[in-house]
Amino acid sequence: MTSLLTSSILLDEKLGHEGGDDTPVRLSYTMSIIKFVNGLLDPYQQSNYAMSLHKLAEMMNLPSYFVELRHIGTHEDLPSLEMLRWSADGALKWLDENYWKTVTSLDRGTDERPIDVIRSSFESVRRARRESEDLERPIKRKDTSPRVVEYWESLDELKSFAVSEEDRELLANVMMFEPDGLILREQSVDEERTESIRLLYRPILEELGYDFILLLFEKLSTFVNSSFYLETAENVDFDEVLVRNETDFLIPRNEGELKQAVKWLEFLLTDSLVFSRRPHVKRLVNADSAVIIMNRLGMNSNDRSISLLKFFQLRNKRFLDRSGLMDKVVRILETMEKFQLPEFRTFVPKRKLENVDDIESSKKVKTDAKLYIFEPYDDWEVTPFGRTV
């Protein structure tokens, strides 16, 4: 089923660029989805009387629109190409969630938690990159030395976690918040070291692909716009924080972490990452993602977000002009600057994370200073509505 659906998508990619009659593509999609539904549900027709396909689909947690689409494709006109594309993508996601995840978890061994697999694989690829003679050159897969074989096996393991949304979230959390991950637990990281860290991770990030990088951008944006620093109190399992994506704890601990996150955002916004040849998206910045980036940065009218959006505008000027999005960037910036808010952070008590040596706590800052966003007027008097003065 996975093969048939993928073949239909590849046929769509091949013939879709040529224009003309889309009937062959629609037929391919329709037959793949019919085979998908029949192949899943027919083996469960074991009673003396045939059960409804909708009932069988409900038993298997298969969305009922697949059954409807099968009926339409069999007895009525072919569904539209847009509907078929969307449904084929949904079918592949269902197969991944309900079949392939189980298969890959069996391959990994039932005793090993996903977060441990990610940590182990992440450490292997970093070690191989650090031992590389030249960080500016990616490690070639054709090299059969034990170190390179381990590198690609570990990187392929990480890539398997970049497929589904849930696993992708966990992978991003581990890479961002492990003590020796993308963001170091240090107050200051100089420019030379920042550049070496980018070189270290660049080929790894490119292999993890567009969807993962877009998620990483969104998580970094949330991180730099946090109004709080992390402080500690009672015990909590840090692994659970990462697995459950508990955002109360996934915040910066000091100014140095914020600066590193801003540098990573600037690196992503330069659009210098080039993804694998197979995906349809080669770079991060395109018509769809540019809108997401602008809206995401435009959510916070503070110095950091304004500076990052201007950076994005400058580094992608040619694309924004060509795509007609430059006017939208200008309008968002005008709104942000008009309603610009002062940037401030405070320390709030949080429960203490395990591995205290790895996860640094911050000292609570005590201050009596009050912050006023609006300017007070001494001569203002309360006036009821409807009454003139």
Per-residue pLDDT tens digits for 323-360:
999 999 999 999 988 887 766 555 544 444 545 444 44
Name every residue whose Cβ is closer than 8 Å to that of residue 256 and which is 6 or more positions away in sequence: 184, 186, 187, 188, 189
Name every residue whose Cβ is closer than 8 Å to that of residue 103 and which is 6 or more positions away in sequence: none
CA atoms within 13 A on the CB side of 101: 16
Cα–Cα distance, 332 to 196 (Å, whole number): 34
- Amino acid identity of residue 222, one-letter, is T
Cα–Cα distance, 85 to 78 (Å, whole number): 13
The CA–CA distances, whole Å, from 288 to 75, 104, 164, 285, 320 equal: 36, 31, 20, 8, 12
Per-residue pLDDT tens digits for 17-73:
666 788 888 899 999 999 998 888 877 665 545 567 877 777 777 888 888 888 888
Residue 254 has pLDDT above 60, yes or no: yes
| Mean pLDDT in residue range 219-232 | 84
Per-residue pLDDT tens digits for 316-327:
999 999 999 999
Q: What's the angle, vertex CA 277, arms to CA 276 and CA 282, rounded to 5? A: 70
Q: Which two tokens stand for residue 35?
A: 């085979």
Q: What's the angle, vertex CA 252, arms to CA 248 and CA 258, rounded to 5? A: 145
pTM for the model: 0.63
- Amino acid identity of residue 298, one-letter, is G
Question: What was the pLDDT predicted at 352?
Answer: 46
**Alpha-carbon torsion angle 43, 48, 50, 51, nearest 10:** -80
352 or 198, which is more confident = 198
| Residue 238: closest CA among 176, 166, 157, 183 | 176
Place of tokens 């197969």: 95
Question: What was the pLDDT predicted at 232?
Answer: 59
What residues does each domain of the chain span? 2-102, 112-353
Mean predicted lDDT score pLDDT of the chain: 81
